[in-house]
Amino acid sequence: MENIFIGGAWPYANGSLHLGRLASLLPDKKIYVWIEAVSGYLSASKQWAAETGGSWEPFWLTDKDKTTAYYVHGKDNIPFHTVVWPALLLGAGNLHLPDRIISCEYMTLEGKKFSTSHNWAVWVPDILSRYQPDSIRYFLIANGPENRDTDFSWREFIHSHNGELLGAFGNFVNRTLSFIDKSFEGLVPEGNLSEEWKRTIEEWYLKTGALIEAGRLKEAIELIFAFVRGANKFFDEQKPWVQIKESKAACGYTLHTCVQIIANLSQLLNPFIPFSCEEIRKFLTIEQPEWKLIVVPANRKVHNLKILFERIDISRIEEETSLLEKQKQQR
């Protein structure tokens, strides 16, 4: 398995310049703390090695061809990670240069710049006390400033939860497994995953994995939720609530396919909404997340089924925006 180094403040324009060359090009510019700041990536690696008995060299020196270095930060930090840091690495002895520079744009809050000094912010402990961590993770990835400036609004956050997580993903999981619980004694029905579905799922692993490795998380989660919508379409077209009256075997075949889709969605979505995916793996007794097609055998018992996501009442939109204004006034 290759080494992965991740650095950044929250990444690679084009090329690198030695500091001397930079100084000649920009004689009126001065660079202060950022030389020491970015050097911390290397010094922290050496300190980690000294404290743990590990080796810093594979990440920076000896196994450079086996290491992928990711630098993740905001767009205001691009020059320091694409010019200053590569120059320092070259000057220090041709150390491993950045491979993936992932530069996010800016996110505002209800149309205004975040400001902790003015108490115009969403505090992590506070939001976690009222909402599921997966809801927050999903929104910040699906609506994050990956390629352009975006805005965090309570309206969009709540509609995102109700529409995508609950209405699309959670609904597909719940109606499939609840149907099995009610009509098949909680046992995964007999069936076979068609070759077409196998190819589709395997393709989703390849495409999603490539996007994640490239740091294009927004595209990756959009791709998976296109798959979720396709799965819901399959469920609706097969009409298992009608099939159960005409042919229990046909109904079972449909639900067997849906279970395989759910199991693989729990793997594909694990990097994004891990808590919900862990619940699904418990429902279906899936041991560990893997990045490959998995099959849940027929007659496996569905355990401790419960709803993954609860609907958030839209009245919370006004409540949250009012709280935000009051919070600002209390600074």
Q: Give domain status of residue 312, yes or no.
A: no
Q: Are residues 172 and 250 in the same domain?
A: yes
How many CB atoms lie under 10 A from the CB of residue 132? 18
pLDDT tens-place string over residues 21-78: 555 666 676 655 567 788 888 999 999 999 999 999 888 886 667 888 999 888 888 8
Q: Are residues 98 and 243 in the same domain?
A: no
Residue 56 or 12, more confident: 56
Q: Give the pLDDT confidence score for residue 11 in this predicted structure.
A: 32
CATH number for the domain including 151? 1.10.730.10
Token digits for 138? Answer: 């999903």
Q: Are residues 202 and 97 in the same domain?
A: no
For the segment 6-30, the average pLDDT, to the nearest whole number, is 50
Residue 91 or 233, more confident: 233
Q: Give domain status of residue 57, yes or no.
A: yes
pLDDT bucket at 2, cuts 50 / 70 / 90? low
- Strand residue runs (E) in 127-185: 150-152
Q: Are residues 143 and 7 in the same domain?
A: no
Answer yes or no: is pLDDT of 188 > 50.
yes
Between CA 234 and CA 241, with CA 235 as vertex, the angle to 5 degrees is: 145
Q: Are residues 277 and 133 in the same domain?
A: yes
Q: Give domain status of residue 304, yes or no.
A: no
CATH number for the domain including 75? 3.40.50.620
Q: Give domain status of residue 113, yes or no.
A: no
Q: Give the pLDDT confidence score for residue 93 in this predicted structure.
A: 81
Count of structural domains, the chain: 2
Answer yes or no: is pLDDT of 113 > 60.
yes
Q: Give the pLDDT confidence score for residue 16 in this predicted structure.
A: 37
Q: Are residues 78 and 222 in the same domain?
A: no
Q: Give the pLDDT confidence score for residue 14 in this predicted structure.
A: 31
Helix pair angle (217-238, 195-213), 10° resolution: 160
* Domain boundaries, position 79: 3-104
Tokens 């491979």 — which residue? 99
Separation CA 46–CA 155 (nearest Å): 45
Q: Give domain status of residue 158, yes or no.
A: yes
For the segment 205-220, the average pLDDT, to the nearest whole number, is 94
Look at 13-22, 23-32, 195-204, 226-235 and tell me which has the smallest mean pLDDT: 13-22
User: How far from chain centre, in Å, is Cα 160?
Assistant: 15
Q: Are residues 158 and 99 in the same domain?
A: no
For the segment 136-142, the average pLDDT, to the nearest whole number, is 94
Tokens 């909402």 — which residue? 131
> Long-range contacts for 252-256 (Cβ within 8 Å, ≥24 apart)?
252/184, 252/189, 252/190, 252/191, 253/189, 253/190, 253/191, 253/192, 254/191, 255/176, 255/179, 255/180, 255/184, 255/188, 255/189, 255/191, 256/188, 256/189, 256/190, 256/191, 256/192, 256/193, 256/298
Answer yes or no: is pLDDT of 322 > 80.
yes
For the segment 244-267, the average pLDDT, to the nearest whole number, is 96
Q: Give the pLDDT confidence score for residue 15 in this predicted structure.
A: 32
226: which residues sit within 8 A by CB, 6+ positions away? none
Q: Give domain status of residue 153, yes or no.
A: yes
Q: Are residues 82 and 132 in the same domain?
A: no
Q: Give the pLDDT confidence score for residue 13 in this predicted structure.
A: 32
Token digits for 40? Answer: 């911390």
Q: Are residues 90 and 128 in the same domain?
A: no
Three-state DSSP class for residue 3: strand
Q: Are residues 135 and 262 in the same domain?
A: yes
Separation CA 118–CA 129 (nearest Å): 22
